[in-house]
């Protein structure tokens, strides 16, 4: 059982380049989330989705876009990367009620130079 899989695991981008981070879950969860983790800042929510075809903004959505075309996949896009987007990105999934909490992926470490 794979759980939540994130690709790629590492990436270096130049300022202004674009990329897409892929998150895939095989647990039939309704909800999916993208967080970024920065030193001293904890985890901050970027965008989330409560079902196929739906997305919503989180705490720090600027500079990112997302899509949830299939229930099992949640894509995070950076259209024009900036050094401030250097971070570790985590995807998670869940189904309400939160008795079992979130299942997290292992993260994508992104460096923008």
Give which of 49, 36, 31 is closest to 98, Cα–Cα: 31
The site map against other proteins for 57-76 (x = CB under 8 A) is -x------------------
Buried b (16+ CB within 10 A) or exposed e, 101-113: ebebbebbebebe
Between 18 and 106, name the residue whose CB sits nearer to other proteins. Answer: 106
- The structure tokens listed for 17 are 């380049």
Which 76-105 residues touch other proteins, going by CB under 8 A? 90, 92, 94, 96-102, 104-105
Give which of 54, 56, 33 is closest to 45, Cα–Cα: 33
Q: Does 22 bind other proteins (CB under 8 A)?
A: no
The residue ranges that bind other proteins (CB under 8 A) are: 4, 33, 35, 40-45, 48, 50, 58, 90, 92, 94, 96-102, 104-107
């Amino acid at each position: 059982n794979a759980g939540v899989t994130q690709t790629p695991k590492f990436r270096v981008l130049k300022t202004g380049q674009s990329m897409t981070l892929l998150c895939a879950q095989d647990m039939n969860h309704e909800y999916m989330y993208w967080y970024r983790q920065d030193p001293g800042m904890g985890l901050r929510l970027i965008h989330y989705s409560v079902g196929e075809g739906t997305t919503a903004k989180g705490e720090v959505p600027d500079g990112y876009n997302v899509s949830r075309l299939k229930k099992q996949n949640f894509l995070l896009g950076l259209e024009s990367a900036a050094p401030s987007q250097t971070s570790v990105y985590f995807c998670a999934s869940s189904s309400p009620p939160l008795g079992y909490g979130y299942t997290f992926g292992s993260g994508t470490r992104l460096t923008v130079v």
